[in-house]
Amino acid sequence: MSAENDLRAFIAGVSGFESWKHVDKIRMFAWLQHHLFKRERFVTGDINWCYDKLSYQPPNTTQYLKNMEGRELLKDAKGYRCEGKFRSQYDQKYGEHEITLNVRQMVKSLVDVIPEIGEKDIFQEALICLHHDAGRAAIVMVWNIALYHLCQYILKHRLDDFNNRVPVRYPKKWKVTDLPVITKYEDFSDNISEREIIEVANSAGIVTGDMFKIYKEKLDKRNSAAHPSTIHITQGIAEGFIEDLIRNTVLLLRI
């Protein structure tokens, strides 16, 4: 997710932001330079960039920032930074962002959808990752929950369809004597890869084409998150991944 998308996602979770006065918008944009963009200092152009990306007409930003000097903002040769008390107030008020809280609640609600998962360590680990903004780990944990749910759905509702479709989707991969037959959950991980599970489920009509696209995309992102790379997994990326995966796959496959 880009910085622009991170900004849009965050502001979307701030109720009534479009009606805020300029001084309040600028306070928020100033705080977000530290909280969201991880900058030590920022300049006028950084605030105007936020206005531009949200399609708001900026005011005389230079004057607004100047009026905030010595109170909300401190200035030195490198630019502006938020004053400690002001930053702490915004950390407390907006640090637990509404979107983050909604995503965490969505994960908690999975207990109602997948009752048996409530006792599993993986569920508690996912909640811990979300609470501590560990984006990579949260993506890995929630993907595992979603795949677990898909496998349970297949076992309870479409097992024959799945087993019958394996040799059709992969006619040359296994000999007839080695053909994997799924009878219990452990058979999935022992005999067939994650990508093959979603490919067969799609081929058998167990999941829709749109759901398959989401599973495939999220598996690729899980792989990127699970292995060392130069890709930075922001909290916004993790939240978007989790919300899309849960809302558009898990919650649509009722066990």
Closest Cα to residue 114, out of 156, 161, 159?
Answer: 156
- Give yes or no for residue 68 having a pLDDT over 60: yes
pLDDT tens track for 105-139: 777 677 666 666 665 677 777 777 766 667 788 88
Average pLDDT over residues 31-36: 94
- Give yes or no for residue 1 having a pLDDT over 80: no
pLDDT band at 49 (very low <50, low <70, confident <90, very high): very high
Residue 223's alpha-carbon distances to 145, 220, 226, 227, in angstroms, are 15, 5, 5, 6
Which CB contacts under 8 angstroms, 24+ apart, belong to 62-67?
64/22, 64/23, 64/26, 65/26, 65/30, 67/23
Residue 192's alpha-carbon distances to 141, 145, 170, 196, in angstroms, are 20, 17, 11, 6
Report pLDDT for 133.
Answer: 65
- Choice among 107-121, 134-148, 231-245 with the minimum mean pLDDT: 107-121
Closest Cα to residue 20, out of 49, 53, 54, 43?
Answer: 54
Token couple for 228: 């060392």
Report pLDDT for 115.
Answer: 63
Contacts with 149 (C-beta within 8 Å, 6 or more apart), sequence order: 110, 113, 114, 117, 249, 250, 253, 255
Token couple for 14: 């701030």
Report pLDDT for 235.
Answer: 67
Contacts with 251 (C-beta within 8 Å, 6 or more apart), sequence order: 113
Report pLDDT for 102.
Answer: 66
Report pLDDT for 55.
Answer: 96
Selected residue with higher pLDDT from 65 and 6: 65
Report pTM. Answer: 0.61
Token couple for 152: 């349970």
- Choice among 68-72, 110-114, 203-207 with the minimum mean pLDDT: 110-114
Average pLDDT over residues 160-176: 93
- Give yes or no for residue 97 having a pLDDT over 60: no
- Count Cα neighbours of 251 within 13 Å in the Cβ-side half-sphere: 12
On average, the pLDDT of the chain sits at 87
- Element of type H or E holding 210: helix 209-226
**Domain locations in the chain?**
3-94, 98-252
Selected residue with higher pLDDT from 118 and 248: 248
